[in-house]
Amino acid sequence: MNELTNVTTGEVRLGYVHLFKPYAAMQGQEEKYSCTILVPKTDTDTMARINAAIEAAKQRGISDKWGGVCPPIVPTPVYDGDGVRPSDGMAFGPECKGHWVFTASAKADYPPEIVDRMANPIINQSEVYSGMYGRVNVTFFPYAFGGKKGIGCGLGPVQKLRDGEALGGSAPTAAQAFGTPQPQTAAPQYVASAGAQNPAEAQAPWGQPAQAPWGQPAGGVNPLTGMPY
């Protein structure tokens, strides 16, 4: 590990999470483990270390990848969440406001470690979702392929710190889908009156409203690629 290009963030929010199974946004693309990382702009310490790591990656690119010359413009993976997406020029999603936004990925042969606050492995995959908060270890690296040169971001271990409101694309929990069960009360006992034509009519507590707790899951797109979650 190159310490100059490696960063462990402060608390960040995760989106577009694919940490247990590699994923490709489009058919034919290489499947990778990945997540979008939202760094609050108030976390100046994390961003200072990220910027330093990107600069170190550029120097490594000059010596190892780019033939001793730094390109006049070096594309980097970090974007301003208050700006527009590079994919289509549209504004980032509301969850990106006030954040720096970037995506980190790892090849299918290198699954990231996912741990909880106590550094214990997370086995229950439902505990890891888009919208949760955590810390992420990332490594910035230079690339040169297909005539393009720039800086990429590799995904390392991920630590979940706390829950957050799920972003679009996360499966709802049972409680979100079906609502919280209400205590059951005993149905009132009705005594058939002399005028009742059908004993069942006298015993049925008609007029109770039907409960419909099902909600529609929120939709959304990856703030970087503009592709649906």
pTM across the whole model:
0.73
Largest CA distance in the chain: 101
Spatial contact of 129 and 17, defined as CB atoms under 8 Å apart: yes
Q: Cα–Cα distance between 72 and 129 in angstroms, integer?
A: 38
- Domain positions in the chain are 6-162
Q: Would residue 147 be called left, alpha or beta, if left means φ above 0 and alpha means ψ between -120 and 50 degrees?
A: left
> Per-residue confidence at 171, pLDDT binned at 50, 70, 90?
low
Q: What size, in residues, is the chain?
A: 229
For 6-162, the fitting CATH number among 3.20.20.210, 2.40.50.140, 2.60.40.10, 1.10.760.10 is 2.40.50.140
Question: Average pLDDT over the chain, rounded to whole?
Answer: 82
> Per-residue confidence at 180, pLDDT binned at 50, 70, 90?
low
Spatial contact of 35 and 102, defined as CB atoms under 8 Å apart: no
> Per-residue confidence at 146, pLDDT binned at 50, 70, 90?
confident
- Find tokens 């990429």 and name the residue: 152
Q: Which two tokens stand for residue 117?
A: 């606050």
> Per-residue confidence at 102, pLDDT binned at 50, 70, 90?
very high
The stretch 200-208 carries a mean pLDDT of 37
The predicted pLDDT at position 173 comes to 54
The predicted pLDDT at position 1 comes to 58
Q: Which helix (H) or strand (E) holds 49?
A: helix 44-64
> Per-residue confidence at 178, pLDDT binned at 50, 70, 90?
low
Q: Which two tokens stand for residue 92?
A: 């980032």
Please check the confidence at residue 228 and state whether its pLDDT lies above 90.
no
Instruction: Please write the tens of the pLDDT for every residue from 107-139.
Output: 999 999 999 999 999 999 999 999 999 999 999
**Sequence letter at residue 134:** G
**How do 114-115 and 133-145 pair as beta strands?**
unpaired
